[in-house]
Amino acid sequence: MMMYLWLSIALLLAVAAVFVLWPLRHRDTGGPTRDDLKAYSETNIGLYRVHLAELEEAKEAGRLSEEEFQQLKLEQERALLEDEEQLRKAEQSVAFANVGPKFLGVVCVAILLASVVLYQQLGSSQDVRLLNMQHEKARLDWQDMQAQQAPDPQRAKDLIEAMEARLQQRPNNLQYRFLVGRYSMSLGDYDRAIEAYEKVISVDPNSPRVLAELAQALFLRDDNQMTPRIAGLAESALAQDPQETTALGLAGINAFNQGDYQQAINFWRRAIEVMGPHAPSSQSLKVGIERAERELAGEGGSGTGSPLAGEEAAEAAISIRVALSERAEVGPDQWIFVYARTWEGSPMPLAITRIQASDLPATIVLDDTMAMTTSTALRDTEQVELVARASQTSTAAPKPGDWEGRFGPVRPLANDGTIDLTIDREITD
């Protein structure tokens, strides 16, 4: 697309240059040259001197009085000056005629270069490049998913980096800030996502989608713990758009945690109506509705825990003993993210938690109470890969210099005992 744009610009400039320069190429060149004008000037001066000598001779011979001599001399001088002025103007015309085409050629080149520079600074070439990157990422991600491979997270990282660079030039572009948040969420970099969403909210506080996604980012960063701020953001999103499904899901979780099971059911049923009963997220919400109904009937036990943690969720659990290799360069205050993701599928964690490196070795149980979103569940996945990553930046997104360990494939419903997972490999790219 960019190539076509630049080719079009070059073609239009070439056509404009032809219209400007072509008439000059065929201009009339039959006028006097610099040498001709110089010769005319010398001839005029010579004639003036001859006439002046004749006047002096006539005065000495008594044919002219002194007054007549001065009058005729003055007329000769004026005539010479007038001729010299005409010759000077003619010389300027000749000079412009010789320099004009070259000058205009230089001007055309300067305009071309200035146009390119100004377009790079003030135009939308970077926006076109970012749009192409998004299309290319979507195309390649789709190919990876068709081949049952995890999409390369580097594509999202490259887009985030390019968008943040563009935001240095156009800090008020809310669309790019929102996309930085969205792509950071896909990488598990919740802190960066939260920062991006909050900047959007500071300018547009009434966007229900951004309010809901900010609430979700905070919920995931805080290990699926509901807070007053998260509940308030979900409530604000629903006030703007009562059909905002992410906000409906979080509002249902908040109601469930407060023991208002009927309200939780109402929120989740509204979300299912919007998404459709066969959507992946709807299946997870149905589990929450079933548990809330059991709580209303007094069959739910203590009523604590995640609203998605029913009997099926309890069965889909994986016990992992996480330890550090002796050669792993990990500080005691670093966060260790432990999660399960689809085997040879999406890199998005199905269940995730974190502990500090100083607490290792430790045994961790991953189940659907630790799901990142209501649309993902361990119980619906046949095989998963287990990952433990020591993060240098307190985010789950992998970065060079992090240390990690992997194990798989594992069947979430197999209940094969505790699995040993050692953090022993440094991420280099």
Predicted confidence (pLDDT) per residue in 251-260, tens digit? 999 999 898 9
| 161-207: pLDDT as tens digits | 999 998 888 888 888 999 999 888 888 888 899 999 999 999 988 89
pLDDT band at 211 (very low <50, low <70, confident <90, very high): very high
Residue with the bigger pLDDT between 377 and 121: it is 377
pLDDT tops 50 at residue 314: no
Pairing of strands 318-324, 362-366: antiparallel
pLDDT score of 7 more than 90: no
Q: What is the C-alpha separation between 12 and 19, in angstroms, rounded? A: 11
Q: Name the strands in the sheet holding 318-324, side by side, starting at the edge strand that comes first in the sequence.
A: 362-366, 318-324, 418-423
pLDDT > 90 in the chain, percent? 16
For 224-228, 239-243, 275-279, which range has the lowest pLDDT when averaged over its residues?
275-279
Q: Which pLDDT score is estimated for 58?
A: 79
Percent of the chain clearing pLDDT 70 (strictly above): 75
pLDDT at res. 17: 65
pLDDT above 60 (res 395): yes
Given pLDDT bands bounded at 50, 70 and 90, which one contains residue 310? very low
CA–CA distance, 90 with 92 (Å, rounded to integer): 5
Yes or no: say if 180 and 198 are a contact pair by the CB < 8 Å rule: no
Per-residue DSSP letter, 159: H
Domain ranges of the chain: 2-122, 150-296, 311-426
Q: Which of 340, 359, 360 is nearest to 350 (CA)?
A: 340
With cut-offs at 50, 70 and 90, classify the pLDDT of residue 11.
confident
What is the structure's pLDDT at 33? 67
- pLDDT class of 302 with cuts at 50, 70, 90: very low
Asked if residue 167 lies in contact with residue 196, where contact means CB atoms within 8 angstroms, the answer is no
Ranges 211-220, 229-238, 316-325, 366-375: which has the least confidence:
366-375
For residue 92, CA distances in Å to 21, 30, 97, 378 come to 20, 16, 8, 87
What fold, for 311-426? Immunoglobulin-like (2.60.40)
9 pLDDT exceeds 70? no
Distance between first and last Cα of the chain: 30
Rounded CA gap, 368 and 308, in Å?
7
63 CB neighbour count, 10 Å cutoff: 11
* pTM beyond 0.75: no
Mean pLDDT of the chain: 78
Query: By the 8 A CB rule, do 285 and 252 touch?
Result: yes
Distance CA(96)–CA(88), nearest Å, equals: 12
Residue 98 pLDDT exceeds 60:
no
d(CA 383, CA 379): 10
The answer to whether domain 150-296 and domain 311-426 are alike in fold is no
CATH architecture of 150-296: Alpha Horseshoe (1.25)
Name the nearest CA neighbour of 347 among 139, 186, 107, 172. Answer: 186
| pLDDT, position 303 | 46
Residue of 296 and 95 predicted with greater confidence = 296
